[in-house]
Structure 1
Amino acid sequence: MAETPDPTSLAEFARRHDPDRFLCALFAPAGSREAIFTLIAFNHELARAREAAREPMMVLIRLQWWRDAVEEAVAGKPARRHEVAGPLSRAIGAGSLDPAALLALIEAREADETGEEAVPLLERLRGTAGGLAAATGRLLGAPDTSSEGLRQIGTAYGVAGTLRSLPALAAQGRDPLPEGEDPVRAGQALARKGLEVLESGRKLLASLPSRAVAAALPGVLARRDLQRVLRPDWQPGAPAAPRGAGDRLAVTWAGLRGRA
Structure 2
Amino acid sequence: MADAASRPVRTPPLSLVGEEVRRHDRDRFTTALFAPAEAREDLFAVYAFNAEVASIREKVHETMIGFMRLQWWRDTLDGIYAGGAVPAGHPVAQALAEAIRRRDLPRDAFDAVLEARELDMADEPPVDRAAFLAYARGSGGGLQRLAAHVLAGRDAETAAAAEDVGTAWTVVGLLRAAAFHAAQRRVYLPAADLAAQGEGPEVVVAGVPHAAVAAVAEQLAGEARGALAAARARRGAVRREAVPALLPAVLADGYLARLQRLDWNVFHPDMAMVDPQPLRLTLRAFLRRW
TM-score (norm 1): 0.88
Partner of 2:141: 130
Partner of 1:242: 273
Aligned ranges for residues 35-74 of structure 1 at < 5 Å?
A: 35-74=42-81
Deviation digits for residues 51-77 of structure 1 (CA, Å, limit 9, x no counterpart): 112533221101001111111122222
Deviation of 1:97 (Å): 3.1
Percent identity between the two aligned chains: 35
The answer as to 2:18 corresponding to 1:11 is yes
Q: What is the letter of the counterpart of residue 124 of structure 1? A: Y
The alpha-carbon distance between structure 1 residues 176 and 108, as it changes in their structure 2 partners (threshold 3 A), is closer
Which stretch shows the higher mean deviation, 233-242 or 38-47?
Answer: 233-242
Whether contact under 8 Å (1:101, 1:135) holds in the other structure is: yes
Aligned ranges for residues 147-162 of structure 1 at < 5 Å?
A: 147-162=159-174
How many corresponding residue pairs? 254
CA distance in 2, matches of 1:197, 1:30: 29
Partner of 2:102: 94
CA distance in 2, matches of 1:127, 1:120: 10
* Aligned-partner SS, 1:140: helix
* Aligned-partner SS, 1:173: coil
TM-score (norm 2): 0.80
Deviation of 1:137 (Å): 1.1
Q: CA RMSD in A?
A: 2.3
Q: What is the letter of the counterpart of residue 117 of structure 1? A: P
5+ residue gaps in structure 1?
A: 1-5
- Moved segments of 4+, more than 4 Å: 111-116
Partner of 2:126: 117
The alpha-carbon distance between structure 1 residues 7 and 88, as it changes in their structure 2 partners (threshold 3 A), is farther
Whether contact under 8 Å (2:262, 2:268) holds in the other structure is: no
CA distance in 1, matches of 2:77, 2:125: 24
Partner of 2:225: 195
Deviation of 1:90 (Å): 2.3
Partner of 2:234: 204
Deviation of 1:156 (Å): 0.7
CA distance in 1, matches of 2:43, 2:93: 14
The answer as to 2:86 corresponding to 1:79 is yes
Deviation digits for residues 14-64 of structure 1 (CA, Å, limit 9, x no counterpart): 111111111111112221111100000001111111111253322110100
Deviation of 1:139 (Å): 1.9
